[in-house]
Chain A
């Protein structure tokens, strides 16, 4: 502050320059988040022009899984509910859509019915599961263990109920057609389907953002921070936790329906324990409680997995494990935390430069 005053004494013109500098710095800072978001969306939009087809296919699936990761972040990152069984809802949505396409038909009407059923039914199942468990005053640790059991049970059902699921061999699903029922119907694959997924993920992110910024979402944060206090203040925490679990399960189910449209194949591990923990790792690496972290973590880890598994056929899981441990130890806030730190450093340096310039003048 003292330095600013002496500058004023020296020359009015100089302060004019200095203040305009600081304004532009502040302006840059404000638009920083928007710029990063634009960069991310831009990269997704231009990816098909740069990346080979098989990479676009990997990326498409990553976008779908990123939606799944967002649904988990709502629970784990914002409400503090850790679940080892969220793939039950992802796989549930997938099997619903897959069975419809395989057994009923592949037209647009069926696809839309599948999207709706694959969202609503897993959502309702989530509501019932969470409602029953939380209303019994179960602690969150036990809740987590029960979700783990659910994942194991669900996977076993998918293996055993082979008349519907084709058991461990998995279910091959015919290509779906979208359009206007009874008028136009076309298969949606490759780059157009990729763009659809970009749009869906963006919409899913915006809905989730809206949820966490709503009074409802803030109550979830309160529950995560201190459930005793939240209850003492008047929040019916059971109801909030049940409802967010339902919403999140519906979102996971919806991601599952897209999975089938993309992969045309489902096998029991999709609703199992491993799939349920994979998503936790994506969210953790990306950054819990940020929504965008789930997207970043999913895309980067899956990309890493797919490239490194080609180069290191057998040891890649080992490498992945070490990288994960390092990330968690060094950057507990995940990739989003790394970006934040980098931005802060950049801002500090810019501020330093700005003051240097003003003293030069």
Chain B
């Protein structure tokens, strides 16, 4: 515990200069059930910060509040120094908070290329119904498609993709708008063993210059990728630190590994 507290105070000292995301006392209750309970979290620029915890620990609820699809019951969220607690989800996305969903959310009826193009276009909204398309968005979609290395052809309809390709496309759509903060919710869940190495290689490449919040069940992957880890249990933070701290932490061993 002392190591965890020490890391936290260290983090607090760095915070003022380059904190990208700062969460204070974030709480969400559904009726009498408290899903997220007074969570503090501060993520400096460029960090890959993982949120782990047993099922029902409140990880996805926390993500929903950061992305803006869920309003917190209490607490504040600051992004790049501004309070965004009351800012709408779409506005947060345009400001650079991007999210890849655990259950892929695609535009199933349009092509792979168009999925990416629509994601690239979302940042600068045009309300002129007669405007022409920006070729830059096409180019960014094409570039992302090359990086993603999906098996499907660019003109394949997204609904027809394999699960692995859908997963990649989901992440690609979150990345193509060049976000400042990427929320990655279980990027490897449901991906076949054979497709995993390629996806991981792509992921590690894609997120090097990014600030990332990661929810992931694969503990090895989390320990390998993360700069810091926050452990949630029943909505509360029970531990925080770098991967070595977390592995050594007894409470984590009990709560998390036990609940596995």
Contact B90 A211 (CB under 8 A): no
- Whether, in the assembled complex, A222 has its beta carbon less than 8 Å from a beta carbon of chain B, the answer is yes
A215-B121, A216-B128, A225-B108 given; A235·B90 CB < 8 A:
yes
Contact B128 A236 (CB under 8 A): no
**8 A Cβ contacts from A231-247 to B:** 231-237, 239-240, 243-244, 247
Chain B CB count within 10 A is highest, among A231, A237, A239, for A231
- Whether, in the assembled complex, B119 has its beta carbon less than 8 Å from a beta carbon of chain A, the answer is yes
Contact A211 B122 (CB under 8 A): no
A219: chain B residues at CB < 8 Å are 118, 121-122, 125
A231 touches which one: B89, B109, B114, B173 (CB < 8 A)? B89
**8 A Cβ contacts from A263-305 to B:** none
B13: chain A residues at CB < 8 Å are none
Shortest Cβ gap from A20 to chain B (Å): 26
A211-B129, A233-B177 given; A226·B93 CB < 8 A:
no
B93 touches which one: A232, A243, A244 (CB < 8 A)? A232
- Whether, in the assembled complex, A214 has its beta carbon less than 8 Å from a beta carbon of chain B, the answer is yes
B52: chain A residues at CB < 8 Å are none
- Whether, in the assembled complex, B126 has its beta carbon less than 8 Å from a beta carbon of chain A, the answer is yes
A221 touches which one: B88, B110, B126 (CB < 8 A)? B110
Separation of A34 and B118 alpha carbons in the complex (Å): 27
The 0/1 profile, CB within 8 Å of A marked 1, for residues 100-137 of chain B is 01000111111000100111011101111111111001
Contact A215 B89 (CB under 8 A): no
B131 touches which one: A214, A226, A228, A231 (CB < 8 A)? A214
Separation of A232 and B70 alpha carbons in the complex (Å): 12
A230: chain B residues at CB < 8 Å are 118, 122
Instruction: Write the chain A residue with the least CB distance to B104.
Output: A229
B125 touches which one: A210, A213, A232, A235 (CB < 8 A)? A235
A350: chain B residues at CB < 8 Å are none
Contact B99 A221 (CB under 8 A): no
Separation of A208 and B109 alpha carbons in the complex (Å): 20
- Whether, in the assembled complex, A218 has its beta carbon less than 8 Å from a beta carbon of chain B, the answer is yes
Contact A226 B108 (CB under 8 A): yes
- Whether, in the assembled complex, B69 has its beta carbon less than 8 Å from a beta carbon of chain A, the answer is yes
- Whether, in the assembled complex, B94 has its beta carbon less than 8 Å from a beta carbon of chain A, the answer is yes
Residues of B within 8 A of A (CB): 67, 69, 88-91, 93-94, 99, 101, 105-110, 114, 117-119, 121-123, 125-134, 137, 173, 177
Separation of A236 and B126 alpha carbons in the complex (Å): 10
A231-B90, A234-B94 given; A216·B105 CB < 8 A:
no
B121 touches which one: A213, A218, A240 (CB < 8 A)? A218
Shortest Cβ gap from B186 to chain A (Å): 16
Separation of A154 and B94 alpha carbons in the complex (Å): 40
Ordered by A's residue number, 27 sampled pairs between the chains whose C-beta atoms are within 8 Å are A214-B131, A214-B132, A215-B133, A215-B134, A216-B126, A218-B114, A218-B117, A218-B133, A222-B122, A225-B106, A225-B110, A226-B108, A229-B173, A230-B122, A232-B67, A232-B89, A232-B101, A232-B105, A233-B90, A233-B118, A233-B173, A234-B122, A234-B125, A235-B90, A236-B91, A239-B127, A244-B129
Residues of A within 8 A of B (CB): 207, 210-211, 213-219, 221-222, 225-226, 228-237, 239-240, 243-244, 247
Contact B126 A215 (CB under 8 A): yes
B131: chain A residues at CB < 8 Å are 214-216
- The main secondary structure of chain A at its interface with chain B is helix
A232: chain B residues at CB < 8 Å are 67, 69, 89-90, 93, 99, 101, 105
With contacts A214-B128, A233-B177 known, what are 20 further pairs, Cβ within 8 A?
A211-B129, A213-B133, A214-B126, A214-B131, A215-B137, A218-B118, A219-B121, A225-B107, A225-B109, A226-B108, A229-B173, A231-B89, A232-B93, A232-B101, A233-B93, A233-B122, A234-B122, A234-B125, A239-B125, A243-B129
B130: chain A residues at CB < 8 Å are 207, 210-211, 214
B119: chain A residues at CB < 8 Å are 233
Separation of A235 and B118 alpha carbons in the complex (Å): 10
Contact B121 A226 (CB under 8 A): no
B125: chain A residues at CB < 8 Å are 219, 234-236, 239
Shortest Cβ gap from A226 to chain B (Å): 5
B105 touches which one: A229, A234, A237 (CB < 8 A)? A229
Contact B127 A216 (CB under 8 A): yes
Contact B110 A235 (CB under 8 A): no
B118: chain A residues at CB < 8 Å are 218-219, 221-222, 230, 233
